[in-house]
Structure 1
């Protein structure tokens, strides 16, 4: 029986671990550093930081771990995959070079341009004056992105001159040489494609749609994600295939041709515009909260799928399509600016409901809040309408100060209502 290490500490890693434990080949999953809410049978928490690469290698060697999968982006950009490979240890994820697709927005734009992949027009700025001039050339709204990792919160849609001035002044007060990517604003509908990539095989997961804004009706600041659902039934298979063929496959071919093939998980953020699908961003790991609603749909063996991809084979994979999986994130008051800690974490129970834990810590006999996003509550039903109703009935009955959106999956619910009306 196999032992697997998952690197990370959030609800995404909790979902990855749960999916691995469904494999008949896996008897234990270690999560480093994990969190105190991960108490499923078969899960072991190892308090090693995700960026402590040498310590993680020593642990894997000593514990005879059979496979490592990296959940969070920071260790990937630091070269954890390169280090494990040099030590002869099996690991699923991209090299540090390939991880620049997420680690550097400027690098990502260069790859998109070199491979003629549809995306927003953009420019790079490295000073306050330069950024202001380039942003105003695009007109409003305009998108301003920090070049490096920003935990899902480094993108701002700027609507007017006053907002632009305030944003750029604040950014360059902290770092006078900050690199920014300035982009034209793309109007349309967003969705996400997750591709598990090996040397000779690729597995595309069901399409997901997440909700980045803090508040209902897409108001408030960008966050790491406040909820998601999958599959996205109102999106046609033809559009899905077009996005894969015009956005995903060319970047994988381009990386291969450059001598730096991509392996691991490619997250393609897509905007469906009037001119067709375009890339908003690439990430190099599963999304959070998308992992929590995509991975439960895998009916075949996740561990075997990863082994096959690492071995240069095309896996045989089965995804469910009978139900909609919908997840709602509960966040601390004050998130994303200044999350309040120490509040009790509610327990949600019910048929076809489960919880994936993130920013929690054990205090006495209970879990309390220890971060921004606290827990993802995931439900399943035959429709988005039914899944949302099930989750919100449980959430709205809580006595809690944790905040959450009340409209996750609204586009799917609207599409279902329109279909019923026909």
Structure 2
């Protein structure tokens, strides 16, 4: 029997651990560091930070781990895959060089433009004067993206010159040399492609998903790490999805190989379906959160075996359900994302059935779990279509959301688009 180590502490890692535990080959999953809501049978939490690579290496060796899966981006960009491989340990994820696709938006843009992969026009600046000069080449609204990691919250849509002046003054007052990507605003509908990529270029594509980044209903308010997601996408024509893979994903993987930094791991391609066709918004080098929570439960094959086959350069068998829509709603602490208020009561898993929950920022107390972070949990339900899934899940949440807040319209794009 196999032992798996999952690195991370959020709802995504909870979903990953549960998916591995479904494998008949896996008898234990270790999660480092995990969170207090991860109480599943055969799941063991290790009190090791996700960025403590030496301690994670030692734990994997001491515990006899057969496979390590990295949930969040920081250790990947820090080179955990290179370190594990150098120690002879099996790990699924990209090298530090390949992880620059997420670590540097400038790096990703350079690859996209040099290989003719459709994306928004963009320029990188490192001063307020440069930024103001560059804005002359962009229409309103435009998009500002911080170049490094920002936990999904580094993107700001700028509506006019006044908003740009305010943003730039604040940014360069705090950090005079900040690297900022100024990008053309794309109109269209967003969706996510997740691709599991093996050592010899074998690829397994996960069912398409759509995330909801804005904090409030009707896509208003600040960007967050994600307030909900659903999958699959009934409104997306199969030909449109395949076109996006052929024009965006396949050329990117070929480009990475040509550069001598082949990509292995989970590639996220954020796509905007525009009138001119699909265009890349951004790349990530791991599963999204909350998208992982709605796509992973759809896998009917053995997740552990799929990854083992990919790492061995074989073509795995991956079967996904096609009969239902999986919809996940994020429960957050009041005040999220600006100033999350800790201490609120979190609903128990038993109260949410037949939906299920993946926990994130929680802390165990004598009276149950309480909020200990911004995004606290993702509650997932299913239905024959998006509207049915919404009705079922929101009926439960409206009765059992504890002291937490959430959006009330996750999946609205699917309902609107399928009615057109």
TM-score normalised by the chain length of structure 1: 0.97
Correspondence 1:215 to 2:216: yes
Number of aligned positions between the proteins: 418
Q: Kindly state the Cα deviation for residue 199 of structure 1 after the two structures are TM-superposed.
A: 1.7
CA contact (8 A) 1:125 1:181 kept: yes
> Is residue 273 of structure 1 aligned with residue 255 of structure 2?
no
Match of 2:364 in 1: 362
2:338 is the alignment partner of 1:333: no
Can you list the C-alpha shifts for 1:10-39, whole angstroms capped at 9, x where unaligned? Answer: 000000000000000001000000000001
Q: Distance in 2 between matches of 1:51 and 1:399?
A: 32
Q: Contact between 2:15 and 2:296, CA under 8 Å: does it hold in 1?
A: yes
Name the counterpart of 1:395. Answer: 397
Q: Which residue of the partner structure matches residue 18 of structure 2? A: 18
How far the C-alpha of 1:399 sits from its partner, in A, is 6.1
Per-residue deviation, 1:198: 0.5
Q: Deviations over 1:312-341 (max 9, x none)?
A: 111111000100000000111111111111
Q: Hey, what's the Cα distance between the residues in 1 that align with 2:284 and 2:379?
A: 23
CA deviations over 1:381-406 (Å, ceiling 9, x no partner): 11111110011101112363311100
Q: Determine the structure 2 residue equivalent to 1:32.
A: 32
Worse-matched range after superposition: 93-102 or 136-145? 136-145
The two structures, once aligned, show a CA RMSD in angstroms of 1.0
- Aligned 8 A contact 1:7 1:68 in 2: yes
Deviation at 1:350, TM superposition (A): 4.9
Q: Secondary structure at the match of 2:378?
A: strand
Q: Tell me the residue number matched to 2:382.
A: 380
1:198 aligned onto 2:201? no
Q: Secondary structure at the match of 1:271?
A: strand
In structure 2, what is the Cα distance between the partners aligned to 1:154 and 1:378?
26
Report the Cα distance in structure 2 between the residues aligned to 1:180 and 1:283, rounded to whole angstroms: 18
- Rounded to whole Å, the distance in 1 between the matches of 2:61 and 2:398 is 47
Distance 2:232 2:330 in 1: 18
Matched, 1:44 2:47: no
Q: Distance in 2 between matches of 1:143 and 1:9?
A: 30
Q: Which residue of 2 aligns with 1:346?
A: 347
Instruction: Give 3-state SS (helix, strand or coil) of 1:396's partner.
Output: helix
Is 1:253 the counterpart of 2:258? The answer is no
> Contact conserved, 1:352 with 1:380, CA < 8 A, in 2?
no
Please state whether the residue corresponding to 2:187 is helix, strand or coil: coil
- SS where residue 162 of structure 2 aligns? helix
1:136 Cα deviation (Å)? 3.8
Q: Is the 8 A contact 2:348 2:368 kept in 1?
A: no
Query: How many Å separate the matches in 1 of 2:142 and 2:274?
Result: 16
| Equivalence for 2:284 | 283
> Does the 8 Å CA contact 2:92/2:264 hold for their aligned counterparts?
yes
Q: Following TM superposition, by how much is the alpha carbon of 1:163 offset from its aligned partner in structure 2, in angstroms?
A: 1.0
Structure-1 residue corresponding to 2:154: 154
User: What is the rounded CA distance, in whole Å, between the counterparts of 1:351 and 1:397 in structure 2?
Assistant: 12
Q: Counterparts in 2 of 1:81-100, with a 5 A limit? A: 81-100=81-100
Contact 2:333 2:371 in 1 (8 A): yes
Superimposed CA distance per residue, residues 33-66 of structure 1 (whole angstroms, 9 cap, x where no aligned partner): 0000001111101010000000000011111000
TM-score, normalised relative to structure 2: 0.98
Q: Where in structure 2 are there 5+ consecutive unaligned residues?
A: none
User: For the Cα contact (< 8 Å) 2:354–2:381, is it kept in 1?
Assistant: yes
**What is the CA distance between 1:179 and its match in structure 2?**
0.5
- 1:123 is aligned to 123
> Stretches of 4+ moved more than 4 A in 1?
none
Tell me whether 164-173 or 86-95 shows the greater mean CA deviation.
Answer: 164-173
CA contact (8 A) 1:385 1:416 kept: no
Query: What are the ranges of 5 or more consecutive residues in structure 1 without an aligned counterpart?
Result: none
